[in-house]
């Protein structure tokens, strides 16, 4: 999600449509994500089926699960091989209509933007001079190999952190380890920089195998002034990519510099 703190509201709306969770048995991972991600996540296939069963039970009990079923595994739809930056979130936005399966991102139509995302855009401008578009859709970053991954991939509407300890942490731990383990034919590491905002994200450091990180406080309004603002994450990421022989990320989102 976009905050290290509990959400300050509850949700009492209607339940979501009865769309099947696509990773329930007997679906094949290769039909749901990029082939290289399907290969590395094969060891947690049974766990994904168990998570799907738990989510279905919650939904039948009247809970609204976010994001929509087809977006839950969206972060794995772009190839693992193209990844060069990892930005770690906590869990999806619990506000209905916000969660899209990519950490910190929202749909193009969402207004106003979540406060954490506004803070990210403010720091983007301070750091790089880029003025972002009004849209909070970060898929242009994902298209460049920025993996926008939450540690937990689902949440109950209005209840931040409600799907912790359901098995998602093991799934995303395996994903992080796979990102960090990639090697070129000569044995050198494939370039990767991990952006870790807040304590939850920084908990993945042991899985990164020494990959360089950019760490600071979380962009939540409750913590951004305690080290996120002024941390220059975007330029620091690009410096670390160039040091590894990789191309920098173009952080523009359809805006003019």
Can you give the pTM of this predicted structure?
A: 0.93
Domain ranges in the chain are 29-243
Q: For residue range 86-104, what is the model confidence (pLDDT) as tens digits?
A: 999 999 999 999 999 999 9
166 within 8 A of 72, measured Cβ to Cβ: no
For the chain, give the number of residues.
Answer: 257
Q: For residue range 194-217, what is the model confidence (pLDDT) as tens digits?
A: 999 999 999 999 999 999 999 999
CB atoms within 10 A of CB 97: 14
| pLDDT > 90 fraction of the chain, expressed in percent and rounded | 89
Angle at 98 between CA 97 and CA 99, to 5 degrees: 105
Q: For residue range 42-52, what is the model confidence (pLDDT) as tens digits?
A: 999 999 999 99
Nearest CA to 160 out of 116, 120, 129, 110 is that of 116
When pLDDT is cut at 50, 70 and 90, the band that residue 247 belongs to is very high
200 is annotated as an active-site residue: no
CA distances from 131 to 110, 188, 257 (A): 18, 36, 6
Residues 6+ apart with CB under 8 A from 79: 34, 35, 36, 37
| pLDDT > 70 fraction of the chain, expressed in percent and rounded | 92
pLDDT attached to residue 19: 86
- Residues 4, 91, 127, 200: which is the catalytic one? 91
Residue 176 CA, chain-centre distance (Å), reads 11
190 within 8 A of 184, measured Cβ to Cβ: yes
What stretches of the chain show up as alpha helix (H) in DSSP?
Answer: 35-40, 45-60, 115-128, 139-142, 168-181, 199-202, 233-243
25 within 8 A of 47, measured Cβ to Cβ: no
Residue 215: strand pairing partners: 196
- Write the class of the CATH domain 29-243: alpha beta
**Cα separation, 6 vs 20, whole angstroms:** 28
**Cα separation, 193 vs 84, whole angstroms:** 6
75 within 8 A of 149, measured Cβ to Cβ: yes
Q: For residue range 122-165, what is the model confidence (pLDDT) as tens digits?
A: 999 999 999 988 999 999 999 999 999 999 999 999 999 999 99
**Cα separation, 182 vs 184, whole angstroms:** 7
């Amino acid at each position: 999600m976009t905050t290290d703190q509990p959400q300050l509201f509850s949700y009492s709306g209607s339940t979501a449509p009865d769309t099947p969770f696509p990773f329930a048995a007997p679906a094949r991972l290769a039909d749901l994500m990029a082939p290289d991600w399907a290969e590395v996540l094969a060891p947690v296939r049974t766990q994904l089926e168990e998570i799907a069963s738990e989510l279905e039970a919650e939904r039948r009990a009247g809970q609204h699960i976010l994001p929509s079923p087809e977006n839950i595994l969206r972060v794995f739809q772009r190839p693992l091989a193209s990844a060069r930056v990892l930005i770690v979130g906590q869990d999806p936005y619990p506000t209905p209509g916000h969660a899209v399966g990519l950490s910190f991102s929202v749909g193009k139509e969402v207004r106003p933007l979540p406060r954490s995302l506004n803070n990210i855009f403010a720091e983007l401008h301070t750091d790089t001079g880029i003025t972002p578009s009004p849209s909070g859709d970060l898929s242009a970053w994902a298209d460049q190999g920025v993996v926008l991954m939450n540690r937990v991939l689902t949440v109950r509407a209005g209840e931040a952190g409600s799907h912790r300890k359901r098995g998602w942490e093991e799934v995303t731990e395996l994903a992080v380890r796979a990102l960090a383990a990639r090697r070129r034919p000569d044995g050198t590491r494939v370039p990767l920089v991990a952006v870790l905002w807040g304590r939850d994200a920084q908990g993945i450091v042991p899985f990164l195998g020494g990959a360089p990180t950019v760490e600071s406080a979380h962009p939540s309004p409750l913590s951004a002034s305690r080290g996120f603002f002024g941390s220059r994450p975007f330029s620091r990421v690009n410096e670390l990519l160039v040091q590894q022989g990789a191309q920098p990320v173009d952080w523009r989102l359809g805006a003019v510099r």
